[in-house]
Amino acid sequence: MLFFFASLYASSIVDQINQDPSSTWKAIDYPRDVMTTARFHALLGTKVPEWQPRKMQVRNDVPETFDAREQWPNQMLPVRNQGSCGSCWAFSISETVEDRLAVKGCARGQMSPQHLVSCDKEDYACNGGEMDIAWNWVKKNGIATEDCLPYTSGGGRVPECPAKCKNGSEIIVTPVPEWKLLKAEEMQQELMTHGPLSAGFTVYLDFQFYSKGVYKHKLGPKSGGHAILIIGWGVEKDTPYWLCQNSWGASWGMQGHFKILRGENHCGIEEMVTVGYVQCL
C-alpha cells in the first residue's frame, strides 16, 4: 500500500512538471532499479548552507558555451554510481582531482572516493560530509587511486581505513596542497583553465525525477544537500545553465548529467563551489 501511494505521488509530480508550459525541464518516473524516493534520500549527504537567490555578474570574456568533455576529449572520466551511500561529497572531490590531474597532463585514472569514506573520520562516511572538512583532509593526507582502494561502500557498508592497497602494495597518494572556495564570478575562468569544479547545492524532491532540460525547482520539499561536478555551461532556449556531472549512474538524467539554472544562485549552485589544486607525482 505504501509503495502504491509513493508511486501515485511520483506520477503526480512528473505530470505536473511536464504539463506546466513554463517548465524548462522534463521529468520522468524512473524504474525502481534506477531510482526510488528512499534511495534518493540515501544518496544525499553533503552539508550545504542556506541559499538565497542572487544575480551573478555576467562575464564578457568567456564563451557562450563550454564543455570540459569537448575541451579535453578522452580525458574526462565517465559517470560513476555511488550506490546506496551518501558519499556524494567523496565522489565530487575525488572526481574533481582526477579530472584536474588529466588537464594538468599527469592523469592517474580514477581517484578513490573510498579513501575519504573510510579514512576521513571528521566526516560521516555514508551519512554525508562537509566539503571544507573533506578538502582539508585531502590537503593533509592526499588521495589514493581507485585501483589501489576501489569503491566498496555502494551497499552502505564502510570498511576500516586500510593501511595498504587492495593488492598489498604501498598506498601512493596524489598531493593536493591547496584548495579554494570560489566566488561565483570566478567559476567560468577557473573551469576553462584548470578543469571541473566541485559544487554542493540544496536538493528538492522533484530533482529525483529530472530527465532533461534546465532544472529549476518546481515541486516538493527540501530533501538535503548534494555534491556534484560542474563541467561546463551554456544556454538552452534562452535559459542559461551549468552543465553538471552526477554520481547516480548513467541511467539517470542525461546519461548521468544534468543542467541547472545559471546566474541566480538557484538552489545554492553558486554558493559552495570548491576546487583543489593538484600536484603531479
- Active site residue ranges: 88, 226, 246
SS3 label, residue 97 = helix
DSSP code of 236? Answer: E
Cell numbers linked to 152: 566498496
**247 beta partners:** none
Q: How far is CA 98 from CA 84, 146, 244, 269, in A?
A: 23, 10, 16, 22
Burial state string for 119-152 with b = 16 or more CB within 10 A and e = fewer than 16: bbeebbbbebbbbeebbebbbebbbbbbebbebe
Which amino acid makes up residue 48?
A: V
Pairing of strands 178-182, 239-245: unpaired
CA distance linking residue 147 with residue 112, whole number of Å:
8
Rounded distance between C-alpha atoms, residue 148 and residue 131, angstroms: 23
Determine contact, residues 228/244, Cβ cutoff 8 Å.
yes
138 grid coordinates: 585531502
